[in-house]
Amino acid sequence: MSREEKASTSLPGKVEKIIKAHPHSGEKEKAQIEVEGADHLYKEIRVPNRLKDAAGNTVKLKPGAEVEVRIEADSVVTTPEPAEQAS
């Protein structure tokens, strides 16, 4: 299914901090992102701090970076929202 056929939304976010991996843990460095518009207890997410730029190079986010959090779902797993009735 192509990206155009998916339902999606985007929310602005900001990188609060970079969480370094412990040298012997096998964990990857993470970026902690505060998602605007999310509920207070769920506004922070942690994701691997590895992105690809337009040229295909691996890059990392910096603290304070403005980002966009995109959520996509296939149309078969979504339901239409009821239309609002005029009063």
Residue pLDDT, tens place only, 36-64: 999 999 999 999 999 999 999 999 999 99
**Per-residue model confidence as pLDDT tens digits over 5-33:** 899 999 999 999 999 998 888 889 999 99
Q: How many CB atoms lie within 10 A of CB 53?
A: 8
**Predicted TM-score of the model (pTM):** 0.80
Question: What pLDDT, on a 0 to 100 scale, did the predictor assign at position 38?
Answer: 94
